[in-house]
């Protein structure tokens, strides 16, 4: 039911999925950034998911094969996703896509990249305005690895708390010598943490998400040496939750999917609150029985999970409404 083609946009490998059914109007265009902690993942790893989205929502899906860490450090992945997206936005007529209906989508680290690219494009007057962003259990900050969801789900597969911190350090620096400091929260000066507390704080997480074994974490200070190695964690292109209100206010309609048994759950909840506080329309879907990575398992034979299919159906329904 699909035409599938491998191309390069601005030297970035992409795979395009186009529905074969004729359409009376132009298609929706979905830019898709795969997950994998900025270290793993590929066009192949998310092939089934992209096929499903293209087929079920009758959209053109462009999956982006961005460069991976640790060989390619931040901002390589972000720049690849941004450049591929801009190329697509400028050439929609070649793919029968309506420039007013371009959606950016990603899961996990791909959700991080989707949020960062959306923020960068929000202020661009020379390009069409994005129609929406779809963030599937995104990782959006690296200031606090002791939020309730990090404590509650620290040993829940497929993403352990230590791995989440390790991956973001690999993306930032290509190695992870300060893993312990990042996990305990002694990688950022207290004044910086207090400055961002209005956005990154357990106080902004609804109480019902704290009942499952959460203990407030003591604020620790940090040494200058450690801070020097991770200070770019304050850049919104790396941690989109830290973008200024003026940027957040310009973001398009958003869909956020979170899972209860996921260390990244609270990143999604905090971003949902930020978007809503700034007048952005948010559709939020929470999988009470979901865990990190579940959307990619919707069609894995004996390893399939019905809630993964439920999550995917909700993403498709959201797309169909755009």
Residues with a catalytic annotation lie at 108, 262, 292
DSSP string of 138-197? ----SS-S-SHHHHHTTT-TT--HHHHHHHHHHHHHSS-TTHHHHHHT-SS-HHHHHHHT
Contact 137, 168 (CB under 8 A): no
Q: Which helix (H) or strand (E) holds 108?
A: none
Tokens of 29: 């265009």
Residue (of 107, 111, 103) closest to 130 by Cα position:
103
Residue (of 288, 274, 275, 165) closest to 230 by Cα position:
165
Distances from the Cα of 117 to the Cαs of 122, 224, 232, 285, in angstroms? Answer: 8, 30, 17, 22
CA–CA dist 182, 161 (Å, integer): 11
């Amino acid at each position: 039911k699909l035409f599938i083609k491998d191309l390069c946009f601005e030297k970035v490998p992409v795979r395009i999925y186009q529905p074969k059914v004729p359409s009376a109007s132009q298609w929706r265009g979905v830019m898709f950034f795969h997950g994998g902690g900025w270290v793993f993942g590929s066009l192949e790893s998310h092939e089934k998911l992209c096929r499903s989205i293209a087929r079920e929502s009758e959209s053109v899906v462009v999956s982006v094969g961005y460069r991976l860490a640790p060989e390619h450090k931040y901002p390589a992945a972000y720049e690849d996703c941004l450049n591929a997206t801009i190329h697509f936005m400028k050439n929609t007529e070649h793919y029968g896509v309506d420039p007013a209906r371009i959606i950016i989508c990603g899961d996990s680290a791909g959700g991080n990249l989707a949020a960062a690219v959306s923020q960068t494009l929000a202020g661009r007057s020379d390009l069409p305005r994005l129609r929406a962003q779809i963030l599937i259990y995104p990782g959006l900050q690296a200031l606090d690895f002791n939020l309730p969801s990090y404590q509650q789900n620290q040993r829940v597969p497929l993403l352990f708390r230590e791995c989440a911190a390790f991956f973001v350090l690999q993306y930032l620096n290509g190695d992870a010598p300060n893993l312990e400091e990042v996990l305990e929260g002694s990688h950022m000066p207290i004044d910086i943490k207090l400055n961002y507390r209005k956005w990154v704080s357990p106080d902004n997480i609804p109480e019902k998400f704290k009942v499952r074994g959460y203990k407030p974490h003591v604020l620790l200070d940090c040494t200058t040496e450690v801070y020097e190695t991770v200070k770019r964690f304050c850049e919104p292109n790396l941690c989109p939750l830290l973008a200024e209100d003026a940027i957040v206010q310009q973001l398009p309609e958003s869909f956020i999917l979170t899972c209860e048994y996921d260390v990244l759950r609270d990143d999604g909840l905090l971003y949902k609150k930020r978007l809503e506080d700034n007048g952005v329309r948010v559709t939020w879907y929470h999988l009470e029985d979901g865990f990190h990575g579940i959307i990619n398992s919707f069609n894995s034979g004996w390893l399939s999970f019905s809630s993964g299919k439920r999550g995917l159906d909700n993403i498709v329904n959201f797309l169909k409404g755009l």
